[in-house]
Structure formats: C-alpha cells, structure tokens
Amino acid sequence: MNIGRRIAERRKALHLTQNELAERVGVSFQAVSSWERETYAPDIDKLTSIAEALDTSVAFLLEEQTVEMGAWKLKERMFSEKNMYTFVRSAAVAKNLNQTMLALPLMKRYHAGQIRKGREHIPYIIHPLMMACHCLALGLSEDEILATVLLHDVCEDCNVTPDELPVAEPIKRSLGKLTFEVLAGETKEQAKARYFAAIPGDRVATIVKVIDRCNNISTMAVSFSRKKIAEYIDETEQYVMPLLVVMKNMYPECYNAAFLLKYQMLGILESLKSMLVKE
C-alpha cells in the first residue's frame, strides 16, 4: 500500500476531513489532497507530524505488509519501494536536487528485474532507496550523496562504467571508488584491501559505503547463512568501522550522523555475535 493511501485510509478511520488533517499538521488542504492522490509525497520533516495527527507511526506510513509465521508476523519487506521512490523524488523536487532527480530513473532502469539475494525475491531497488531514505533521515541530503547512493551498485552489477552515466563528474569519481573489482594477479582479499584503502579520500564515497554496510547488516540475518554472517561481521569490523572514524574526524559536519550509524551498526553486530556464540 502506498503512503498516500495509508494517509487517506487512516484519516477516514479517524473521521477526519482533509481540512482537519491539514490544520493538525500545519499545511494547506491542497497539500493533503496531493499526498492522498500521490501527486507528491510529504516532506521528510512532515512525516512525524502526520503520524502524530493520525495517531500512528512513521513506520506505518512507509512499511510493507506482513505475513504470518506461527506466533510472529514476518515482514515480506521492511518498506515499500513505491513509497520510498515517491518520498525520495518529492524530497529531490523540494530541495531542487537535480542530480538525484537524474539518478532516480537511471537506478530504476538499470536495476529493472534484479532481485536481492535470499529467498524473499525482493526487488533490488529496495536497497538503494532504503539507503536514500536513511540519508534523508540523518540529514545527509546533499545532491551528490543521494545521487551516489542511488547509483552506487549500478556499475558493479549492471555492466556500465561511471563515465557512461550522465551524471556530474564528482559523482562519477565517487562511483568509481565504490565499484569493487579484482584486478589481474590479485586475490580477492588483496582487491578488498585496495578497495577499502581508496575510499577514505573521497568524502561522498566514505559516507555512502558506511550507509551501504549499515543497510546490509540490518537485513543479513534474514538472507545470510551463519557462516556468511560471521564472515561479514569480520569484514565490517576490519574495513567499515574504521570508515566511521574517518567520517567523524575528517568530515566533522557528519559527526552526528556518524554517531547514529555507529550506534546502529554496533548494536546489530554485537547482537549477531551473541547469537552465533550461543549457537
């Protein structure tokens, strides 16, 4: 279900008119109407107010459906790609983020038909869209960051080089840093060490890689084997956690975002390590 339909259904369940909801949120009647018709998605700074006015949560406005599994309800997806796409597009329009507006349809076209690894067969674009929403929630709303987030896996997964993409040169450079490849004569471990060593000199690539790994470890328990989880934990601690230090020290304007990312990542890693040790 899309965010507009969720707002409309929740509003009607509370017997509110569009005018009454608009007054509670502090927007115009036309804004509420455009949300429910899905012409535009609400600005990120309005989501909390909308949720409060509708006596619900932000997660409810964005989330996907769940499926029953015994006594638990398992989410088929954490959030809806349609809702997230509309949300990111609306943020890009509101903030005049031209590169992000360019990257959105490119991402959609290049990743068309691709699914994430695992049994759930989730469309691949869930991953970059979730990362873009994460960035917006953390206040990392710069055009270059969001465009790079949206395209960060295109070169590696879709047989295209950064220079072939019609985006700004700084974004191409960051995408080049984020594209992993094993060169002739290298082992995979040597390639990995070289890859991660090159990222810290690029501010956008550093931020995007940390967000990327945060998103991946947040969902790996669902689709990874126990062995793969253990390997991913080791790799994250060896290569990605140091990028958080770089993010805080070299780019102090990102300190708050880095703190929140570190809190989330450490919480996930320690929980998974505890689970693996007990098993």
The tokens describing 260, both together, are 């929140």
Mean pLDDT of 121-133: 89
d(CA 96, CA 142): 10
SS (H, E, C) 4-68: HHHHHHHHHHCCCCHHHHHHHHCCCHHHHHHHHCCCCCCCHHHHHHHHHHCCCCHHHHHECCEEE
**Residues 7, 58: contact at Cβ < 8 Å?**
no
Structural domains in the chain, sorted by start: 1-62 (1.10.260.40), 79-278 (1.10.3210.10)
Q: Report which of 70, 135, 73 is spatially closest to residue 100, judged by C-alpha positions.
A: 135
Mean pLDDT, rounded, of the chain: 88
Question: What does the alpha-carbon distance between residue 4 and residue 83 come to, in Å, rounded to a whole number?
Answer: 8
Give tens-digit pLDDT for 205-226. Answer: 999 999 999 999 988 877 778 8
Q: Which carries the bigger pLDDT value, residue 81 or residue 190?
A: 190
Three-state secondary-structure class, residue 72: strand
Torsion of CA 50, 56, 35, 40, to 10 degrees: 80
